[in-house]
Amino acid sequence: MAAFLLRRLVRGLVLVLLASSLAYLLAAYALRPRAELEGRTPRPPEAVIDAQLTRHNLNDRTPLADRFRVWATGVAHGSFGRTREGEPVDGELWRRLGVSARLLLPGTVLGCVLGVLLGAYAAIRHGGAADHAVTFLGYLLLAAPVFVLAVLLQTAAAEANDATGLRLLTWVGEPPGGGPLEAVRHAALPTATIALAQAALVGRYQRALMLDVLHADYVRTARARGLRRRDALLRHGLRVALVPMTAHAAATSGPVLFGGVCAERVFGRHGLGAWLVEAIARGDVHVAAAVTCLAACAVVLTGLAADVLSGILDPRVRAAC
């Protein structure tokens, strides 16, 4: 298992290098940090603009290969370069990463757990009212974009605050201080937005996987030994159905990151997603490349976590490794 994970890690590192390099080359080719400087009033002299852009390795008149070599050398030494304003990308990058992690991780974990439970429950109640209700709710959540879901939750929370005359929930901007209770009140809506979107994705797939094992031989054998149907499905069927579910959960990391971008914008969180949108609008090449690099690392780490979980759930995976 260790050798298998090491091979996957090496492949992941290669993918991260390729994704980061491609992201930088595309950003450096398409974005124009020069445009903002030329649009200032009064317009700086051309020599001043060139000098500032060259100082930060952003001059589009420098050959792209030379700019990439300078950027890649800096990354190899632990530096993602400087922003258009000359500030180091690294410090702001890690601060923004903390904001995004606090927004995405709780919602993603909660959404995966909720999706697995609802999907398994709907499959066990196949054809009944509970199955139809869970299926309808899943389709409804899948049809609603993340930003629409966030706005709907904000509207419902505002109505609840007005009806009770209390500030039960707050959600705009960074959490204000005031202890753990205030932090929970402030994080409830963003977490619920990510969790509901993730639960809809996971729940539909988990339901289909559970339907495949409802009448499997090992489930019938467990029932023949005296286990109740619910216990047989939970102990044996759900364990088997969770193995492909781990790979699917890793594949949803892309939609989760996109949903995080939307949630950050709606809830006024200054995380990586909001920073990336701002960087593209400003033509900030190094910020766009750095955020893409971290996103690629997140996808690779999610895949490794899925491999470890698959090995824990299925002994055949460990034996094959």
Is the pLDDT score of 110 beyond 90? Answer: yes
Share of the chain above pLDDT 70, in %: 94
Q: What is the mean pLDDT of residues 3-11?
A: 80
Query: Mean pLDDT over all residues of the chain?
Result: 85
Residue 230 or 142, more confident? 142
pLDDT at 114: 93
pLDDT (tens digit, 9 = 90+) per residue, 197-206? 999 988 988 8
Whose tokens are 């780490």? That residue is 301
pLDDT at 26: 93
Q: What is the mean pLDDT of residues 59-88?
A: 91
Is the pLDDT score of 78 beyond 80? Answer: yes
CA distance 153 to 11: 40
From 251, 283, 258, select the one nearest 272 (Cα to Cα). 258
CA distance 17 to 62: 23
Q: Are 293 and 20 in contact (CB under 8 A)?
A: yes
pLDDT at 17: 92
Backbone angles phi, psi at 236, to 5 degrees: -115, -50
Q: Are 49 and 38 in contact (CB under 8 A)?
A: yes
pLDDT (tens digit, 9 = 90+) per residue, 257-297? 878 888 888 888 888 988 998 898 888 999 999 999 998 88
Phi-psi region of 173 (alpha: psi -120 to 50; beta: other; left: phi over 0): left
For the entire predicted model, the pTM comes to 0.81
Written as six digits, the tokens of 126 are 């196949």
pLDDT (tens digit, 9 = 90+) per residue, 165-182? 877 787 776 665 666 777
Q: What is the mean pLDDT of residues 296-319?
A: 76
Whose tokens are 């204000």? That residue is 176
From 316, 319, 309, 321, select the one nearest 242 (Cα to Cα). 309
pLDDT at 317: 60
Is the pLDDT score of 73 beyond 90? Answer: yes
Is the pLDDT score of 123 beyond 70? Answer: yes
pLDDT (tens digit, 9 = 90+) per residue, 38-51? 888 888 898 988 99
pLDDT at 266: 85
In order of their start, the domains of the chain are 1-84+283-321 (no CATH), 93-282 (1.10.3720.10)
CA distance 175 to 133: 35
pLDDT at 249: 73
Residue 316 or 294, more confident? 294
Is the pLDDT score of 3 beyond 60? Answer: yes
Torsion of CA 258, 262, 265, 267, to 10 degrees: -120
Tell me the residue type at 14.
Answer: V
